[in-house]
């Protein structure tokens, strides 16, 4: 029954190796790299431009990251063999993001798109190390003065304002919409304000009540936040989260629901109003093409309804023809410039006038918005 040490060690090493292989397999299955399977896997081929995408969530989160992934797929189709488009999903904000970017650069990435606000520091850090690689920061506020960093986003406040019209019309007079919101940052605050402008336009005494989840993507927490708003008696639910999970709480309670980033009209037919959607693909294709042509420059793209960058999802049955007509009218007005949701007079929660009658907020102002307008029930700096 005696076994030599070396034999025993061998017996232990074999399964350890097995575990290591399993773990590697697991990491491999995760779709770190989807690519287009085009020829050489090392990605360092000089004739093909490589674009890397860093995603905050999983590619099928049913919202934000899924929309970016759809954009990547569109761009890949447009660009064909001239570019290789890879991605990494579930990349946390912080040091891991910088590591993911460095890995992509080591794999030959010429341009990196990163799809979350919190990647800003990592982008600036890595961009300074690699001046020859281009960086594109979705929802970013600034380029840090680096010539190889650009920011891009869409004027979804315009479309979210339109969803506010739908919500305001769907609730009783003076009712409340519960807003499930991720983080108290200008992007989200601006969206909630635009939403409330829409709600109040059709329902002057109605309010929007905000609950912060402090997460972009956590389906259970998102739903739990919606549940807590419903328990408090709100008349509808709106979401600014990456997944449509809060829609399920609304669905179970039979309350109208405004989504974000994804069309759930078929999944939640009974409670669906509409949602603001992004279409990233055209921008991605253009920017990668610019790298191929050597014409890429820094910039701060802000796509609007007119560019087809943001749009509304199909309406649900709860949206009346009258409301649809109004929304259509306002959409035209936004495009023509006859209307702007952030035109004065705008009063904040404390009753202080922030924007006087006859004036409008500049893009710079709305990108830095850190206060809630009158009618929003929540804390803008929790």
Partner 1 sequence: MSGLLVLASTAGAAPDLASSGRGVNSNLFVVIAASAIFYGTPLVLAGLGEMLTERSGILNLGLEGMMLMGAVAATWGSLNVGGPGWFALVAALVAAMVAGALVACVHAVLVIGFRVEQIVSGLAITILAGGAGLSSYLAGSWDLSRGPVPHRLGRFDVLGLGDLPVVGPLLFRQNLLTYASWLLVAALWWYLFRTRRGLHLRAVGESPATADAMGIPVERYRYGHTIAGGALAGLGGAFFPLAIIPLWSDGLTGGRGWIALALVIFGFWRPELILVGAYLFGASASLGLTLQARGVEVSPQLLASLPYLLTIVVLVAVSTGWARRRVGAPAALGTPYERESR
Among 33, 118, 125, 224, binds partner 1 (CB under 8 A): 224
Q: Which residues contact 243 (CB under 8 A, 6 or more apart)?
A: 57, 61, 62, 63, 217, 218, 219, 222
CB of 225 to partner 1, least distance (A): 5
Backbone φ and ψ for 195, nearest 5 degrees, come out as -60, -50
User: Which is nearer to partner 1, 270 or 359 (by Cβ)?
Assistant: 270
Q: Which stretch binds partner 1 (CB under 8 A): 21-29, 195-203, 303-311, 358-366?
A: 21-29
- Backbone CA torsion sign across 108, 73, 334, 274: negative
Longest dimension (CA), the chain: 93
CB of 353 to partner 1, least distance (A): 24
Q: Which stretch binds partner 1 (CB under 8 A): 145-153, 261-269, 334-342, 362-370?
A: 261-269
Residues 150-189 that bind partner 1 (CB under 8 A): 178
Asked if 233 touches partner 1 (CB under 8 A), the answer is: yes
* Cα distance between residue 55 and residue 215, in whole Å: 15
Q: Which residues contact 92 (CB under 8 A, 6 or more apart)?
A: 56
Q: Which stretch binds partner 1 (CB under 8 A): 155-163, 251-259, 296-304, 329-337?
A: 251-259
Residues 75-104 that bind partner 1 (CB under 8 A): 89-90
Q: Which stretch binds partner 1 (CB under 8 A): 25-33, 97-105, 141-149, 347-355?
A: 25-33
Among 118, 144, 219, 344, binds partner 1 (CB under 8 A): 219
CB atoms inside a 10 Å sphere around CB 141: 16
Bridge partners, residue 138, by sequence:
152
Asked if 274 touches partner 1 (CB under 8 A), the answer is: no
* Cα distance between residue 342 and residue 62, in whole Å: 30
Q: Which stretch binds partner 1 (CB under 8 A): 23-31, 100-108, 331-339, 365-373?
A: 23-31
Among 129, 252, 338, 353, binds partner 1 (CB under 8 A): 252
CB of 217 to partner 1, least distance (A): 8
Among 218, 331, 341, 374, binds partner 1 (CB under 8 A): 218
How many angstroms separate the first and last alpha carbons of the chain? 67
Asked if 370 touches partner 1 (CB under 8 A), the answer is: no
CA-to-CA separations, 200 to 27, 62, 102, 191, 359, in angstroms, rounded: 49, 29, 47, 14, 19
CB of 58 to partner 1, least distance (A): 3
Among 80, 145, 254, 337, binds partner 1 (CB under 8 A): 254
Report the candidate in 113, 146, 150, 119 with the shortest Cα–Cα distance to residue 301: 150
Which spans in 203-280 are helix H?
Answer: 219-231, 245-253
* DSSP secondary structure, 260-290, as one string: ESS--TTTSTTTEEEEEEE--HHHHHHHHHH
Q: Which stretch binds partner 1 (CB under 8 A): 71-79, 113-121, 222-230, 323-331?
A: 222-230
Q: Which residues contact 343 (CB under 8 A, 6 or more apart)?
A: 355, 359, 360, 361
- Backbone CA torsion sign across 263, 264, 270, 273: negative
Among 156, 196, 207, 243, binds partner 1 (CB under 8 A): 243
CB of 66 to partner 1, least distance (A): 8
CB of 145 to partner 1, least distance (A): 30
Backbone φ and ψ for 164, nearest 5 degrees, come out as -60, -35
Q: Which stretch binds partner 1 (CB under 8 A): 18-26, 94-102, 140-148, 307-315?
A: 18-26
Binding site for partner 1 (CB under 8 A): 1, 11-12, 14-16, 18-20, 22-23, 25-27, 29-32, 58-62, 89-90, 178, 209-215, 217-221, 223-225, 227-234, 243-245, 248, 251-255, 264, 266-268, 270-271, 377-379, 382
């Amino acid at each position: 029954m005696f076994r030599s040490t070396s034999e025993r060690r061998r017996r232990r090493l074999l399964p350890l190796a097995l575990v290591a292989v399993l773990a590697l397999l697991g990491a491999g299955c995760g779709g770190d790299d989807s690519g287009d399977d085009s020829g050489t896997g090392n990605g360092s081929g000089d004739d093909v431009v490589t674009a890397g995408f860093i995603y905050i969530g999983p590619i099928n989160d049913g919202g934000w990251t899924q929309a970016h992934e759809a954009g990547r797929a569109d761009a890949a189709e447009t660009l064909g063999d001239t570019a290789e488009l890879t991605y990494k999903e579930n990349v946390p904000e912080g040091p891991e993001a910088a590591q993911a970017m460095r890995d992509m650069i080591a794999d030959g990435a010429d341009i990196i798109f990163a799809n979350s606000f919190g990647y800003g520091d990592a982008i600036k850090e890595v961009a300074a190390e690699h001046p020859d690689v281009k960086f594109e920061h979705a929802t970013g506020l600034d380029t840090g003065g680096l010539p190889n960093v650009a920011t891009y986003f869409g004027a979804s406040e315009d479309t979210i304002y339109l969803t506010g019209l739908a919500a305001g019309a769907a609730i009783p007079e003076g009712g409340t919409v519960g807003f499930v919101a991720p983080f108290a940052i200008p992007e989200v605050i601006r969206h909630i304000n635009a939403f409330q402008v829409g709600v109040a336009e059709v329902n002057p005494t109605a309010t929007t009540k905000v609950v912060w989840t402090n997460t972009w993507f956590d389906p259970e927490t998102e739903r739990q936040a919606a549940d807590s708003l419903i328990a408090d008696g709100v008349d509808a639910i709106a979401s600014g989260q990456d997944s449509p999970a809060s829609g399920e709480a609304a669905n179970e309670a039979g309350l109208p629901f405004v989504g974000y980033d994804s069309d759930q009209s078929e999944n939640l037919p009974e409670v669906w109003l509409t949602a603001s959607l992004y279409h990233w693909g055209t921008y991605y294709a253009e920017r990668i093409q610019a790298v191929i042509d050597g014409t890429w420059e820094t910039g701060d793209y802000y796509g609007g309804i007119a560019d087809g960058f943001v749009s509304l999802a199909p309406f649900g049955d709860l949206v009346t023809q009258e409301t649809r007509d109004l929304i259509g009218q306002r959409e035209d007005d936004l495009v023509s410039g006859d209307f702007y949701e952030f035109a004065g007079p705008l009063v904040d929660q404390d009753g202080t006038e922030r924007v006087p009658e006859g004036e409008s907020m500049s893009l710079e102002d709305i990108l830095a918005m850190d206060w809630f307008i009158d009618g929003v029930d929540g804390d803008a700096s929790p």
